[in-house]
C-alpha cells in the first residue's frame, strides 16, 4: 500500500497555506478540493485586513494570487470530494469519488457551510432563486436582492451586490453583528435599505418575482417585500460531515498527538478570517515537518 505523508482536505486559504509551507520543507502533500480553489473567499467584496494590500483586495483577486502561488510552488490540487476520512491501524484513508488515499497525517481544512434556516416555508419553484453565497450571482445587474442576516457576511454581500443592484437587508432584531466599517458603508449607500425586527415566514413566487411575507416581532402585523433573489447569510457551521466512525472515536487523541490537524474556519468558531487561517496552516505544516523529521531520524 502506497502511504502518503500528508493529505490535506480543502483548498481554501488554510489548506493552501499548509500545502505551500510543506512544499518548502520538501514534503509533497496531497491537496484535495471538492469545488474550486478558495471557494468561500471568492465572495468577499473587499479584504482590507490581510497584510500586504494597503488598498484592500477583492476576495476573487486574492484567490487568483493564492492560485498563482500554489502553481509556482508546484502544488497540484486534486479536484475530488472526500466522502469519508477514516483511521485504521495508524493510517488515514481519505475516500473520494475516484479513489482511496492512504496517509500517515491528515489535515482538515474544510471550512464551513451555511447554516440553513428552518423557517420560512419555501416552495419548490422558488428554490433556484435562493442563494447562500453570492459568487454564483456576482454578475447580476438591475435586480432586487433581499439579504437575510445581520453579520459581516450579510453586510459584505450587500455592499458587493449594491454596486449594480438594489438590496434590502432583513434582520429579525434591531441589533446588528457586523463590524462598524461595513455598517457605515451600507448606511451611506443609497442602494442598501434595512428592515429590522422582522422574521421571514414565507417565500412565494409571484409572476417573475419573489414575494416574501415577514412578521414584525413587535406585533405590528405583516410586511410584504418583493425581490428577484434571496441571499441567506444566517451563520455558518463547521464542515465535518465526512468523518468516519473509527476516526470519530480517536479524534481528540489524534489531534493531541499531532497526527491529525484542523486548520482555518473549521476550528475557529466566530473568528473566521483569512489571516488566521493562513497562520493556522503555516503552523500546522511546521509541526508536521518537525514530526516527520523526528520520526524519520
Ligand X SMILES: Cc1cc2nc3c(=O)[nH]c(=O)nc-3n(C[C@H](O)[C@H](O)[C@H](O)COP(=O)(O)OP(=O)(O)OC[C@H]3O[C@@H](n4cnc5c(N)ncnc54)[C@H](O)[C@@H]3O)c2cc1C
* Strands 112-114 and 236-238, sheet pairing: antiparallel
39 counts as binding ligand X under rule CB under 6 A: yes
Whose Cβ is closer to ligand X: residue 15's or residue 120's? Answer: 15
Binding segment for ligand X (CB under 6 A), chosen from 23-31, 47-55, 219-227, 249-257, is 47-55
x/- mask, ligand X, residues 79-118, rule CB under 6 A, reads --xx--------------------------xxxx------
Whose Cβ is closer to ligand X: residue 43's or residue 234's? Answer: 43
47 counts as binding ligand X under rule CB under 6 A: yes
Whose Cβ is closer to ligand X: residue 47's or residue 203's? Answer: 47
x/- mask, ligand X, residues 228-257, rule CB under 6 A, reads -----------x--x---------------
Among 273, 279, 286, 291, binds ligand X (CB under 6 A): 273
Shortest Å distance, C-beta 261 to ligand X: 12
What secondary structure does DSSP assign to 27-44, as a single string?
---EEE-SS-TTTTGGG-
Shortest Å distance, C-beta 31 to ligand X: 9
Among 7, 33, 86, 234, binds ligand X (CB under 6 A): 33
Residue 185 corresponds to which cell in the numbers above? 458603508
Instruction: Specify whether the backbone of 218 is left (phi greater than 0), alpha (psi in -120 to 50) or beta.
Output: alpha
CA dihedral 186, 188, 193, 195 (to 10 degrees): 80
Whose Cβ is closer to ligand X: residue 27's or residue 85's? Answer: 85
Contacts 24+ apart (CB under 8 A), 48-51: 48/181, 49/273, 49/274, 49/275, 50/274, 50/275, 51/275
Lay out the sheet containing 192-195: strands in order across: 130-131, 229-232, 144-148, 166-170, 192-195
* Exposure string over 50-69, b if 16+ CB within 10 A, otherwise e: beeeeeebbbbebbeebbee
In the beta sheet, which residues pair with residue 213? 202, 224
Shortest Å distance, C-beta 275 to ligand X: 5
- Taking the C-alpha atoms of residue 176 and residue 155, their distance in angstroms, rounded to an integer, is 10
Binding segment for ligand X (CB under 6 A), chosen from 121-129, 173-181, 216-224, 273-281, is 273-281
Whose Cβ is closer to ligand X: residue 36's or residue 204's? Answer: 36
275 counts as binding ligand X under rule CB under 6 A: yes
Whose Cβ is closer to ligand X: residue 191's or residue 204's? Answer: 191
50 counts as binding ligand X under rule CB under 6 A: yes
Question: What length does the chain have?
Answer: 297
- Taking the C-alpha atoms of residue 199 and residue 205, their distance in angstroms, rounded to an integer, is 18
User: 237 with 248: CB under 8 angstroms?
Assistant: no
Binding segment for ligand X (CB under 6 A), chosen from 165-173, 204-212, 247-255, 271-279, is 271-279
In the beta sheet, which residues pair with residue 194? 169
Residues numbered 129-188 forming contacts with ligand X, rule: CB under 6 A: 153, 156-157
CB atoms within 10 A of CB 211: 15
Task: Please report, as ranges, the residues that interact with ligand X according to CB under 6 A.
Answer: 9-15, 32-35, 39-41, 43-44, 47, 49-50, 81-82, 109-112, 153, 156-157, 239, 242, 264-266, 272-275, 277
Amino acid at each position: 500500500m502506497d502511504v502518503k505523508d500528508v493529505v490535506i482536505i480543502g483548498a481554501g486559504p488554510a489548506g493552501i497555506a499548509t500545502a505551500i509551507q510543506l512544499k518548502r520543507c520538501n514534503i509533497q502533500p496531497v491537496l484535495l478540493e471538492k469545488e474550486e480553489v478558495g471557494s468561500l473567499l471568492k465572495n468577499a467584496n473587499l479584504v482590507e485586513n490581510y497584510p500586504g494590500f494597503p488598498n484592500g483586495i477583492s476576495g476573487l483577486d486574492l484567490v487568483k494570487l493564492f492560485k498563482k502561488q500554489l502553481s509556482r510552488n508546484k502544488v497540484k490540487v486534486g479536484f475530488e470530494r472526500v466522502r469519508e476520512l477514516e483511521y485504521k491501524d495508524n493510517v488515514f484513508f481519505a475516500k473520494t469519488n475516484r479513489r482511496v488515499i492512504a496517509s500517515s497525517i491528515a489535515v482538515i481544512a474544510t471550512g464551513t457551510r451555511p447554516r440553513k434556516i428552518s423557517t420560512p416555508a419555501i416552495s419548490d419553484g422558488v428554490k433556484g432563486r435562493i442563494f447562500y453565497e453570492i459568487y454564483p450571482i456576482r454578475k447580476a445587474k438591475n435586480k432586487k436582492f433581499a439579504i437575510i442576516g445581520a453579520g459581516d457576511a450579510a453586510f459584505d454581500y450587500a455592499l458587493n451586490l449594491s454596486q449594480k443592484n438594489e438590496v434590502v437587508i432583513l434582520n429579525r432584531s434591531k441589533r446588528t453583528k457586523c463590524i462598524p466599517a461595513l455598517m457605515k458603508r451600507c448606511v451611506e449607500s443609497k442602494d442598501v435599505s434595512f428592515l429590522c425586527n422582522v422574521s421571514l415566514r414565507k417565500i412565494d413566487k409571484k409572476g417573475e418575482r419573489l414575494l416574501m411575507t415577514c412578521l414584525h416581532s413587535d406585533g405590528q402585523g405583516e410586511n410584504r417585500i418583493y425581490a428577484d433573489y434571496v441571499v441567506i447569510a444566517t451563520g455558518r457551521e463547521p464542515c465535518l460531515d465526512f468523518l468516519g466512525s473509527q476516526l470519530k472515536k480517536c479524534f481528540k487523541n489524534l489531534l493531541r498527538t499531532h497526527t491529525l490537524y484542523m486548520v482555518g474556519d473549521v476550528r475557529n468558531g466566530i473568528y473566521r478570517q483569512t489571516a488566521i487561517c493562513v497562520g493556522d496552516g503555516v503552523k500546522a505544516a511546521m509541526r508536521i515537518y518537525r514530526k516527520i523529521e523526528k520520526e524519520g531520524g
